[in-house]
Amino acid sequence: MLSSVAWLAAVAGWFRGARRVPVLREVAEAEKPIDRYPSVSVVVAARDEEGGVGEALESVLDQDYPGILEVLAVDDRSTDRTGGIIADLAARRPDRLRPLKIDQLPDGWLGKNHALYRGAAETGGEWLLFTDADIRFSPDCLELAMRYAENEGVDHLALAPELLSHGVALKSFVTAFTFVFGVTQRPWRASDPGAKEAVGVGAFNLLKREAYLQAGTHGAIRLRPDDDMRLARLLKDAGYSQGVAYGTGCVSVEWHQTLGGAVKGLEKSIFPGVDYRLSAIVAASLLLFLTNIWPFAGVFLARRRPLRLLFGADVLAVLAMYAYGPRVSGYSLPPQYVLLHPFGMGTFIYAAFRSAYVALARGGIEWRGTFYPLRVLKGDTRSN
């Protein structure tokens, strides 16, 4: 019963706050263009991304940005055709794209963090945009983002991408994941300097170079698999302002092609995201089961009327989230997916336990072909 009360209170907070996260395209298009567009350096880290890095980079290179734009693509020890694709594009677009090849990973670094750090050091833009090698941008994305950031006076802007997924099972899981993220991370509070929440998004982290340097760069989070969120925390702790917006219609990503791939992809992030605390995984999973899975059966099976009413309230809260979420974010979600919510949430719980189990059983995390011992990763957690 207490779990339901806690969940309903959290959902109520989500309803109050979710509408405060703007859809970038809607708000930026309503604003006037700014007088001066600062120079921007886009840093893309890629390791074995031959399947999508070409299209991703082309969508960045095709930006209709009024200011100076440079793109640095970092080939981080790729063993496939990634480096060749980057080199070919750089030869065709030398005005905007420069390649950087990394052959060795120094001790004490995660590959992606090191690649982004090196890339940022090789660029000179007033603003930095860190993004992934599988993201697609609309041609006006960067112009709208910079217009919004300058008009709102923020030092860091994170855009939540439109998550494209194929197949009913995968889409159900992705939807459950996004709801859990919204309820637990409360992105609408990131802009409040007095709130503890800070949100970063690997698909689109736009920030002032000065803020990046003063906050400590990726050098301060060398071994954090959740580098996007940790970078946001560094910036906020350093006193820099943040903004979060939905990137619907501006930024998109195909978040894995299969359900199994999505679950495996979360191996490296869920357990580190709770600072490797198994107790946090167990407690959160139990709460989600009692409030997002069991009530769908309990509303029919419970014998006591107060319990049936409480379970009914849990189910109604979920129904309301599925109805309200697409309205505020602009994402398209068929209403019948609410019926699959217990499946999607159950898969998320499984992914959370799997993330913890794999890390503990292996004694570390394997990411992009490199193994990182848990004792080293935990040491980095304590130092931060």
SS3 annotation, the chain: CHHHHHHHHHHHHHHHHHCCCCEHHHHHHCCCCCCCCCCEEEEEEECCCCCCHHHHHHHHHCCCCCCCEEEEEEEECCCCCHHHHHHHHHHHCCCCEEEEEECCCCCCCCHHHHHHHHHHHCCCCCEEEEEECCEEECCCHHHHHHHHHHHHCCCEEEEECEEECCCHHHHHHHHHHHHHHHHHHCHHHCCCCCCCCCCCCCCCEEEEHHHHHHHCCHHHHCCCCCHHHHHHHHHHHCCCCEEEEECCCCEEEECCCCHHHHHHHHHHCHHHHCCCCHHHHHHHHHHHHHHHCHHHHHHHHCCCHHHHHHHHHHHHHHHHHHHHHHHHHCCCCCHHHHHHHHHHHHHHHHHHHHHHHHHHHHCEEEECCEEEEHHHHHHHHHHC
Among 1-5, 156-160, 321-325, 378-382, which range has the highest average pLDDT? 156-160
Query: What is the Cα gyration radius of the chain?
Result: 21
End-to-end CA distance of the chain: 36
Assign 382 a pLDDT band (cuts: 50, 70, 90).
Answer: very low
Across the range 338-345, mean pLDDT stands at 94
pLDDT surpassing 80 at residue 183: yes
CA–CA distance, 312 with 306 (Å, rounded to integer):
10
pLDDT surpassing 70 at residue 18: yes
Question: Which residue, among 179, 184, 174, has the nearest Cα to 319 in the 3D structure?
Answer: 179
Q: Is 132 within 8 Å of 55 (Cβ atoms)?
A: no
Assign 381 a pLDDT band (cuts: 50, 70, 90).
Answer: low
Which pLDDT value is given to residue 383? 45
Across the range 157-179, mean pLDDT stands at 92
pLDDT surpassing 90 at residue 181: yes
Which pLDDT value is given to residue 165? 86
- Mean pLDDT, the chain, as a whole number? 93
Model confidence pLDDT, tens digit, residues 231-253: 999 999 999 999 999 999 999 99
Q: Is 218 within 8 Å of 207 (Cβ atoms)?
A: no
Which pLDDT value is given to residue 305? 86
For 19-257, CATH gives 3.90.550.10
Question: Which residue, among 144, 178, 168, has the nearest Cα to 24 in the 3D structure?
Answer: 144
CA–CA distance, 114 with 362 (Å, rounded to integer):
23
In the chain, CATH 3.90.550.10 covers 19-257
